[in-house]
Amino acid sequence: MQPFNQKRPGGKRREEEILQLLEEFDYSEGMTVKEFSALHGISDGTLYYWRKRYAGKRAENRKLGGFIEILPSSANTSDGLFAEIKGLKLFQAVSADYLKILIS
């Protein structure tokens, strides 16, 4: 397999390569879209297009297959516990997106 920063014959990348690049971009803190795109030999527009097109296929979306039951805690309400999910104690209501990040 060729490195990501080299152009491929025909210019097309496989879906696995695109998903890997998108994941790498998510973890590249402090790097702008322009810098990341230049490093990997793609245009800014292509990166934005991939992010939109493959949003449902990305790793963080695939991990969660369904709903998780969250029950408010009735025991020990004096300590301010709101809910407990998979051993994670929440002391206030949180958004669904934040909760996904916490349990993934």
Stated pTM of the model: 0.48
> What pLDDT sits at residue 1?
44
Cα–Cα nearest to 93, from 103, 102, 82, 85: 82
Q: Rounded distance, CA 88 to CA 67, Å? A: 16
Q: What is the pLDDT of residues 35-64, one digit of tens each?
A: 999 999 999 999 999 988 888 776 555 555
Q: Is the pLDDT of residue 34 over 90?
A: yes
- The domain segmentation of the chain, as residue ranges, is 15-62, 64-103
